[in-house]
Structure 1
Amino acid sequence: MAKENINTIGHKINEIDTSYVEPNKYTFAFMLENSNWYEYYRLSSNESNPQRITIAPNMSYKLGGYFGWKWIFLGWSINLKDLLGNDNSSKKKTEFGLSLYSSMVGGDIYYRKSGSDFKIRSTSGIFNNGETPEYDKDIDGFSIDIKGVNAYWVFNHKKFSYPAAYSQSSNQRRSAGSFIAGFSYSQHRIHFDHNQLPAPILEKLSDALKFNEVNYSDYSLNFGYAYNWVFAKNWLANISLAPAVAYKKSKFDSEEKSYPTFKDINLDLITRMGIVYNDSKYFVGASLVMHTYDYRTKNFYLNNSFGTIRVYAGLNFSKKKQYRNK
């Protein structure tokens, strides 16, 4: 009875309209993938003459091989800088991301702990002439720790397929779109030792940007729209935007005061884009999944984004019994 109930649930969440979506005809898959992690942090003061500093690390590049069974992919990846001996960071990064896609529901789990290769990318409002000095030195006093989970529901799941765009476990044969809704929870810890900044910036830095740590939890509800465009035979392009209303429970520490936990409402955004060629047996494509968060206090504003760019190629093999004679 339990097995029958599980099979029924599995059938329901993967139910499709075959005139729009073609199911995967194979049991196994093998894929090679290059994944690139990108992120940035924009720190701003809310003053009459606001200052802004944008900080970002070097993009990280990984190469991996994966073996798939039905909708599960397992594998291993290696940082290309480690492979080539070009990673000079004193602190190693820890990155983990997992995205699950079915016809009706899906979600993301992610974890990110920084290394030591953050750099100042731009400034505004600090220097009178508007110029931003270029600094190649890493900022040892900046570090982050982020973890979270995101889940969503696809309303038009019979005609619109997220898996066709992001997990290659089905094929979209006719263009279709769907409204999506979901929720997410994440924890953010951002440490900033402003004394490690270059002297020209430190001399002019606003007191609002002289904080030690931002530590907040983000609870959000999102609602958006996703569209699969079949622009040629076996070709698919997807874009998905899901703005979110977020409730933040947080603590903000500065040199002068330690503010108690408070509540605030901000806007976040989850963005997905992808393009893929899939003729059922062979597939190749690229995708982007990006999370953007806003955080505000009376005198301080933080905007941070992070995401993964994937470029992949692979093949399916071992046809399922019901498709072997077709």
Structure 2
Amino acid sequence: MKRVLLILCFLLLTVGAQAQQVVDSVCVDTALIGIISTESLFPPERSFGNFLKRTGKSIKSGIRFLDKTDSTYIEPNHYDWTVMGQNSNFFQVISMSAKTEKYHYQTLSFRPKPMFKIGPYLGWRWIFLGYSVDVSRPSSAGKSTEFDFSVYSSKVGGDLVYIHNNGNFRLRKTEGLEGVDKFQFSGTDFHGLEVNTLSVNAYYIFNHRRFSYPAAYNQSTLQKRSAGSVIMGFRYDKQKLTFDYTQLPSPLNERDSVSSVMSDELKFSRLSYQDFCLSAGYAYNWVCARNCLLSISATPALGYRAEKGTKVKYDKLLHNVIRYVAVDFIGRAGFVWNTGDKFAGVSYVTHLYGYHSRHLTIANSVNYLNVYAGFYFGKKPKYLRQ
């Protein structure tokens, strides 16, 4: 009997210990549930609408970060919508210069037929959409593709330029060629030049709280007081030129039996290179009169040139330093009349891409001239009572 009682006591103690362990486990789990939020244990269902809301908030936060300004110098736009009409003009100049055996220079200058575009634009806050038509010549005559895109904010900005021009050039002038007048062949069509240009430029504006590029070039702010800023950035350029001098008018293209008056250095057939540059410059906005702003900036760039088919000879790097150094330039100028609800103005932007070797220099100048006028509508909610 005693043995049975002992066995029963042992079983009761064992079951009691196991029960206590279960209770302890439940208490621990309950404590964890108190610490971990219900939302973490049971996350809400993710939807596409919530994703769009989160994305929109992130974009707005990024824009606010890029557009922090000093209100005594810069006034933000009070409207959500913008309507604008714009006339866009694009023109390019290619200049080739070579040193002759007699140590004087010969220069050939070309330019494509200019583009004259007009069109309407509609903007919502920082997004602009529009369509422009080239009215300078019939569409069948076009042999070029031109695209440019610029971003202007208070802190940072950027430019993207792409141009492909295939044979749509005219001779502009010839200099230093014996027996050939400077403007003898001016306006003559030339189909022996093909130019491809790709350029990406990004920069940072140091005095962004007081200086506003958008006030001068995309009318999204108002510059109330004059201010300037140092600008620094990075740019990448890729250039490719194909040149057939035999399509030049006589006597420039004479060869074989008759000696040409043109230097052999100008008789290259293909040139391809890339530039990697650091840029630094200065920009200034001058509030010259009530509601009137005059802006000007200059940003030279200096860097390294990688020419296709040419290897860097490090033992002669200093001797041939001019061959590997890239020197480029971006200039801007603009005049704006802006009352806060309507505006008009003109802007000019030039990109200069330079190539230099011991005997050959090529300058590719890309230029944009815009004339525009428009008005704002749809006030932002926080400005409705003003």
Deviation of 1:115 (Å): 4.6
| Distance (Å, rounded) in 2 between the aligned partners of 1:25 and 1:164 | 13
- Name stretches of at least 5 consecutive residues in structure 1 with no aligned partner: 252-258
Deviation at 1:75, TM superposition (A): 1.0
> Which segments of 5 or more consecutive residues in structure 2 lack a partner in the other structure?
1-53, 254-259, 313-322
1:85-124 correspondence to structure 2 within 5 Å:
85=138, 89=141, 91-124=142-175
Query: What residue in structure 2 maps to residue 13 of structure 1?
Result: 66
Task: Name the TM-score, length of structure 1 as normaliser.
Answer: 0.92
The answer for the alignment partner of 1:320 in structure 2 is 380
Q: Give the distance between the partners of 2:378 and 2:158, measured in 1 at CA.
A: 28
**Higher share of residues assigned helix:** 2
Q: Which residue of 2 aligns with 1:254?
A: none
Query: Are residues 152 and 131 of structure 1, via their aligned partners in 2, closer, same or farther at CA, if it must alter by over 3 Å?
Result: closer
Structure 1: distance between partners of 2:93 and 2:242: 14
Aligned to 1:281: 341
Which structure: greater strand fraction? Answer: 1
| Amino acid corresponding to residue 350 of structure 2 in structure 1 | M
Counterpart secondary structure, 1:208: helix
1:80 aligns with 2:127: no
Say whether the 8 Å CA contact 2:278–2:301 is kept in structure 1: yes
8 Å CA contact 2:287–2:294 kept in 1: the answer is yes
Conservation of the 8 A alpha-carbon contact between 1:142 and 1:193: yes
What CA distance in whole angstroms lies between the structure 2 residues aligned with 1:189 and 1:211?
13
TM-score calculated relative to the size of structure 2: 0.78
- SS at structure 2 position matched to 1:268: strand
Identity of aligned residues (%): 39
Q: Could you tell me how far 1:216 is from its partner in structure 2?
A: 1.1
Task: Tell whether the 8 Å contact from 2:174 to 2:180 is kept in structure 1 after alignment.
Answer: no
Moved more, 315-324 or 129-138: 129-138
Letter in 2 for 1:308: Y
Q: Deviations over 1:267-325 (max 9, x none)?
A: 21110000011111111101011111211122211111102110011111100000011
Name the counterpart of 1:180.
231
Offset, 1:116: 3.3
Q: Which has the higher mean CA deviation after the structures are superposed, 200-209 or 284-293?
A: 200-209
- Structure with greater contact order relative to length (CA < 8 Å, sep ≥ 6): 1
Q: Which SS does the other structure have where 1:274 is aligned?
A: strand
What is the aligned-residue RMSD (CA, Å)?
Answer: 1.8
Q: Deviations over 1:216-273 (max 9, x none)?
A: 112111100000000111100100001110321113xxxxxxx524561032111000
Confirm whether residue 209 of structure 1 aligns to residue 266 of structure 2.
yes
Shift, 1:166, TM fit = 0.2
Offset at residue 132 of structure 1 (A): 3.8
Tell me the number of residue pairs that the alignment of Structure 1 and Structure 2 aligns: 315
3-state secondary structure, aligned to 1:266:
strand
Native 8 Å contact 1:98 1:108 kept in 2: yes
